[in-house]
Amino acid sequence: MNSLVRIFILGIMVVLTACASGQPEITAPSRTLEPTLPTREVQTPTLKPSPVDSETPIAVLEAADLLDQLLSDDQEGKDNALQQIIDTKDVRFIAVMIELMRAAQIGIIPLSDYPATLETLETLSSQRLGRDWPAWVEWYGKSEYAPPPGFTSWKGRLLSRIDPRFAGFLQEEHTSRIRVEEIQWGGVLVDGIPALDNPEMIPGDQADYLDGIEPVFGIVINGDARAYPLRIMDWHEMVNDVVGGVPVSLAYCTLCGAGIAFDGRAPDGNSYTFGSSGFLYRSNKLMYDRETNTLWNQLTGEPVLGELADEDIHLSILPVVLTSWSDWLAQHPDTKVLSLDTGYERPYELGAAYGDYFSDDDTMFPVWQRSNELPDKSRVYALYLDGVPKAYALQRLVDEQVVNDTLGETPIVLVAQRGTVLVDGFNQRAGSVTYESGGEVRVFERGVHSFSAGHQPGSLIDEQGNSWQVSEEKIIGPEGEFAGRVNGHLAYWFGWYAFFPNTLVYK
């Protein structure tokens, strides 16, 4: 579906309506896409001071006053502020103009402000990108500009017109590991895509609502097997659960195709639970912890803006696979699975929430750091080991079934013996949809061994012809010897590359 058409269909309905239960009424996850007007170590650029083409750049206090005027209802004051910014050629205000341009497009400031804002933006930047907001975002992302002092809190005040809680995330006094200019509103309120907290689980043999071929996330910890169907996860994107006695946050970014299980017990000795902030960064979900209101990068498990952002904290990744329900149930007949009784009214059907996005080659939000080495939305299995990121095309893994490799200083074996999971579903916006949701991949240390596929899925043959068995935690040899699991996750190629542009790619 054309992205401009999709934005008109989705709108901003989640901001405006509430159902009788007090939960936001969502007929589909609402994501702002393009202009509504017709026409681990996160690798970010080294930021340098903005060049200011004036001998008298705007001073700190004066810049703060101009920012205030730009959010006021005083039209004359706004016009004077824009003229002063143009006169001083202070390019730090490019970021401000891009924010105001978008705010006018989505209706949180008067549309009448739009022409003057765009004229100021084009004058400061010497670019002629017109009303194409994604093009402006991607152009700015490649630049080394920085915003004026006070920008973070100002942006929080601007976006608080959508949800007052946004201002709490964006505060000037907070440490930020990321470029605040690149934070985008994702089309929903804080927790507008509500997390499931310690949800009801039912025995697998009672899950009559599930089809055998449909995708689930599977987790096993300390013998406790649990399945989280994507027909439910698409609507919630976050589960805070306890699996095998371990607090787990299963964070699912639908836009970048990554479902990652994090250990909620952080290295600082505290445990954290998470919700959806409503913000994105390079089309990746920014989650927030409920304990400190800090924003976290969903792809890396690191705090990026807020009270914890200057702490050396990195959540540990736990084992998770994406597989079909029938394959998961066959491997784990004692598994528990999410109940449909979540406490929310949603059409929990395959493809209902994002089937149009999953089945389309286009991305929904602008991302400036891309690579054409693989198609944007091709699935990869992503690993970060010994400080080295590497992406393995899922289809390549499925074709080879067993891949012996070395990442960093660690010999590993990747096992993908059960193919990919295909979905035939129905989407509220696009109708019938078909898409690949991923595939079952596990990775283990292999030591001195080299493996090939056994006669059955879940069995490996080493270089001496001995049979090894695959379990969730390890591979087990004929004499009881074993090798432990290495945890990674699936993602769209563009989502992984946006944060790891120096990633290796398996050939």
Same-domain pairing of 370 and 501? yes
Consecutive H or E run containing 445: strand 442-445
Tokens of 21: 């239960």
Same-domain pairing of 233 and 277? yes
Rounded to whole angstroms, the Cα distance separating 260 from 94 reads 35
Nearest-5° Cα angle at 137, 69 to 488: 125
How many C-beta atoms lie closer than 10 Å to residue 507's C-beta?
6
Rounded to whole angstroms, the Cα distance separating 287 from 299 reads 10
Handedness of CA 394, 395, 401, 403 (dihedral sign): negative
What is the gyration radius of the CA atoms in the chain, in angstroms? 24
Tokens of 142: 């490649």
Domain annotation covers residue 349 = no
Domain count along the chain: 3
At a CB cut-off of 8 Å and minimum separation 6, what does 11 contact? 30
pTM greater than the 0.95 cutoff: no
Please tell me the chain's helix, strand, coil percentages from 3-state DSSP, rounded to the nearest 5: 25, 30, 45
Domain annotation covers residue 58 = yes
Handedness of CA 153, 156, 158, 164 (dihedral sign): negative
Rounded to whole angstroms, the Cα distance separating 179 from 291 reads 23
Domain annotation covers residue 347 = no
Domain annotation covers residue 7 = no
Same-domain pairing of 104 and 54? yes
φ, ψ for residue 95, nearest 5 deg = -60, -40
Whether 462 and 476 have beta carbons less than 8 Å apart is answered as no
How many C-beta atoms lie closer than 10 Å to residue 236's C-beta?
23
Rounded to whole angstroms, the Cα distance separating 421 from 107 reads 40
Domain annotation covers residue 128 = yes
Same-domain pairing of 286 and 414? no
Whether 201 and 335 have beta carbons less than 8 Å apart is answered as no
At a CB cut-off of 8 Å and minimum separation 6, what does 484 contact? 444, 445, 473, 474
Same-domain pairing of 361 and 500? yes
Whether 56 and 88 have beta carbons less than 8 Å apart is answered as yes
pLDDT in tens, the chain (507 residues): 434 333 333 333 333 333 323 333 334 455 543 333 323 444 433 333 344 444 457 898 999 999 999 999 999 999 999 999 999 999 999 999 999 999 999 999 999 999 999 999 999 999 999 999 999 999 999 999 999 999 999 999 999 999 999 999 999 999 999 999 999 999 999 999 999 999 999 999 999 999 999 999 999 999 999 999 999 999 999 999 999 999 999 999 999 999 999 999 999 899 999 999 999 999 999 999 999 999 999 999 999 999 999 998 999 999 999 999 999 999 999 999 999 999 999 999 999 999 999 999 999 999 999 999 999 999 999 999 999 999 999 999 999 999 999 999 999 999 999 999 999 999 989 999 999 999 999 999 999 999 999 999 999 999 999 999 999 999 999 999 999 999 999 999 999 999 999 999 999
- pLDDT (0 to 100) of residue 56: 53
Phi-psi region of 208 (alpha: psi -120 to 50; beta: other; left: phi over 0): alpha
Whether 216 and 335 have beta carbons less than 8 Å apart is answered as no
- pLDDT (0 to 100) of residue 432: 97
Same-domain pairing of 67 and 142? yes
Same-domain pairing of 296 and 438? no
Domain that residue 414 falls in:
355-505
Same-domain pairing of 451 and 376? yes
Residue type, 172: E
Domain annotation covers residue 120 = yes
Question: Domain boundary at 177, 205, 233, which?
Answer: 177
Domain annotation covers residue 3 = no
Consecutive H or E run containing 88: helix 75-88
Nearest-5° Cα angle at 151, 146 to 152: 105
φ, ψ for residue 142, nearest 5 deg = -85, -5
Closest CA to 123 of 162, 83, 161, 151: 83
Same-domain pairing of 231 and 359? no
Closest CA to 274 of 258, 253, 288, 294: 288
User: SS3 of 432, please?
Assistant: strand
Domain annotation covers residue 289 = yes
Rounded to whole angstroms, the Cα distance separating 81 from 321 reads 53
Q: Which residues of 492-502 are buried (b: 16+ CB within 10 A; e: fewer)?
A: bbbbbbbbbee
At a CB cut-off of 8 Å and minimum separation 6, what does 364 contact? 3, 6, 31, 33, 255, 283, 357
Closest CA to 188 of 302, 287, 299: 287
Same-domain pairing of 281 and 141? no
Same-domain pairing of 211 and 146? no
Whether 395 and 441 have beta carbons less than 8 Å apart is answered as no
Same-domain pairing of 304 and 385? no
- pLDDT (0 to 100) of residue 14: 35
